Structure 1
Amino acid sequence: MKALVTKRFGNPPVMAVEDRAKPAFKDGFTLVRMHAATINQLSNTIRKGEIGDPKAPLVLGNEGSGVVEESTNFNPGTRVAIYGSNELGITKDGVFQEWVLVEDNRLLELPETLNWEEGAALTVNYLTAYLALTRTAKLKKDQTVLISGASGSVGHALVQVSKALGGRPIGVVSSSDKARRVKDAGAPWVVDLSSQDLAEAVLELTDGQGADVALDPVGGPMLAQLLRSVGRRCRVVSIGFTGGKSPPVDVVDLIVYEKALAGYSLHAEPEENVSRALGEIAMFAAKGLLRPAIDSSYAIDDFELGYSRLGSRKAAGSIILRL
């Protein structure tokens, strides 16, 4: 079978498509014939050697979609989405290959409403959104949710999940073109930073109260802007750092208004939380409330084009590797 193997970690990394043996089935696991996987920031950070201590050679890829070939829990032919947890594509070979062996509890049956590419982007981003909103942000019905990077794949998931949970999302984007896409995706309000001041716009949208909670997949200076835009005793949850790892925070604002800053990591979640959340995501998707945005897709031999698109920061949605 074809497998995309990272042979050396660093900047630049060395990756190549190789021929490998097909994994052998074993109890407690499901053998999946892969159709699609996501090229995301996690795999990009790992391949550059910027996180953890990965050992080469390693097949990256932490989420994807495919069809069950052999399993004790799923009928052959079942369409599934895969969540690799903190192992697949991190410490063990992941989903950038034609067949993969996945633990049964890391699969969800893919609703017929979603195609392979959408299914490939259904687990990591939506699990992050659901659990960050429910466990860390403690979102309540009718609360306003400020979401940075709302045109990106994580931001898109946050918009849809917050709506499914009864929240009122305010998407934050950097251009009018992105603002249009976020509105089309279902956000009732969008702030365009190319023409608006974030704090002023949020105060106007919330009758001077500020947002109830903010979720930040971007990081860097954006986190500080979000912190200024939430109300008294409200919370900002940091879940990404594509815009930088060292945000300038106004400590006076933090103290005087008793605001809270929290971090969220999906890979720190207990398995029982993830299993429960996968069920909720499958239910929301089956009802048509969740649909990942796909920016572009690439054949396995063109993987570097996918990573170039990711690095351009122009992508509006997930970048897919076709398997």
Structure 2
Amino acid sequence: MRAVTISGSGPSGKLSVSSLNDPNPGPNEIIIEVAAAGVNRADLLQRAGYYPAPAGAPDWPGLEISGSVVRVGRGVSRWRPGDEVVALLEGGGYAEQVCVRETQVLPVPRGIDLVDAAALPEAVCTAWDNLVTVGRLQAGEWVLVQGGSGGIGTIAVQLAAALGARVLTTAGGPERAARCRDLGAEVAIDHRSADVVAAVRAASGGHGADVVLDVLGGGGLADNVRALARGGRLVVIGLQQGRRGELDLGALLAQRGTVAGTTLRSRPAEEKARVVADVLEHVWPLVEQGRVKPVVHARLPFEEAEIAHLLVESGEAFGKVLLIP
């Protein structure tokens, strides 16, 4: 099979199409012929040498795919060859075939194009787990989604709105902010020209955000704490503005706030299976109702993987960039 592999790391790391052995399924695993692979910022971190694949996972990038089942291993009961599916991976999605545990696979939702479905699994699992399981978001609460125009942000805005929350989000520029409002944000703040904390306070009548879903990391820490409501929950899922920041404990204590940080890739298989099962039960119906949709900025062939990474790194993409074998 062909796969997009990494040679070198850091600024000199290059992506190229290589020929590799086809995978074979082990017990409770399936082989999927890939229709498309989602590109995530985690892939850029892996390429730079900051986010290595977990033990036993392929060492080339790709955390989510869509495609068709071609083979199943011993003990597989949920899937059969020909099923159209999406999958949450530990790595290796930039390939013509992937091997994955059956518990990390979901059916392609009714009404969703097979290629575009690759924009869903990582983003939906991340958004659901961090908004609801970690952030304990409730209908009627205010939620601030930092980076509402990104691959995860576009899903998080839609999901939070579908769950009945009042959604605030940030985006770079008036056009992207307007598109976030079209996705369901009650208020979209242009972070290039507005004071985000002041805008959150004004929109919520001084209440603040009950939940902040943050992709900024260290650079956004101070403002995110200032934006919290009393009893607010800050959930950090990204490090776009650095790994380190200064936490004002006095401000956190005054708001009786909490800060949580999570990743999905390195979790035990049982936890990932739980997240996938929750998504199937609670989010897939919203997708099939059209209330949560994949947002795809570009579809590029494997040979243009470098361009795909540049699009994601630049922040120009609105939604997901997909790689097509």
Structure-1-length-normalised TM-score: 0.90
**Residues 235 and 259 of structure 2 are in contact (CA less than 8 Å); yes or no, is this contact kept in structure 1?**
yes
1:232 match: 230
Residue 75 of structure 1, CA deviation: 3.2
Q: Within 2, Cα distance between the matches of 1:224 and 1:174?
A: 19
Q: Kindly provide the amino acid, as one letter, of the partner of residue 121 in structure 1.
A: A
Give 1:218 shift: 1.9
List aligned pairs for 1:152-301, cutoff 5 A: 152-267=150-265, 268=267, 270-279=271-280, 280-301=282-303
- Secondary structure, counterpart of 2:152 in structure 1: helix
Q: Which runs of 5+ in 1 are unaligned?
A: none
- Alignment RMSD: 2.1
Shift of residue 67 of structure 1?
1.0
Query: SS at the partner of 2:11?
Result: coil
Give the CA deviation at 1:164.
2.4
Q: CA deviation at 1:80?
A: 0.5
Name the amino acid aligned to 1:119. Answer: A
1:102 paired with 2:103, answer no
Q: What SS does the aligned partner of 1:126 have?
A: helix
One-letter code of the match for 2:4? L
1:200-246 Cα shifts (integer Å, max 9, x gaps): 22222212211212111122332321211122222211111112222
Alignment of 1:41-60 (within 5 A): 41-52=41-52, 58-60=59-61
Instruction: Report SS of the residue matched to 1:31.
Output: strand
Shift of the alpha carbon at 1:33?
A: 0.9
Alpha-carbon distance in structure 1 between the residues aligned to 2:229 and 2:209: 6
CA contact (8 A) 1:176 1:194 kept: no
Map of 2:82 onto structure 1? 77
| Equivalent pair of 1:6/1:57 in contact (CA under 8 Å) | no
Q: Report deviation, 1:8.
A: 3.2
Report the residue type matching 1:81 in the other structure.
Answer: V
Counterpart-to-counterpart distance in 1, 2:54 and 2:233: 34
1:322–1:53 distance in 2 versus 1, CA, 3 Å: closer
- Structure 2 Cα separation of the partners of residues 195 and 11 of structure 1: 31
Structure-2 separation of matches of 1:106 and 1:65: 12
Shift in Å at residue 169 of structure 1? 1.0
Tell me which residue corresponds to 2:149. 151
Q: Please, which moves more after superposition, 268-277 or 59-68?
A: 268-277
1:320 counterpart residue number: 322
Letter of the 2:86 counterpart: A
* Distance of 2:64 and 2:54 partners within structure 1: 18
Distance 1:155 1:187 in 2: 11
Kindly state the Cα deviation for residue 272 of structure 1 after the two structures are TM-superposed. 4.2
* 1:295 to partner: Cα distance: 1.4
Deviation at 1:137, TM superposition (A): 0.9
Give the deviation of 1:117 after TM superposition.
Answer: 3.5
Are the equivalent residues in 1 in contact too, given 2:157–2:185 (CA < 8 A)?
A: yes
Amino acid at match of 1:288: G
Structure 1 residue ranges, 4+ long, deviating more than 4 angstroms after superposition:
53-57
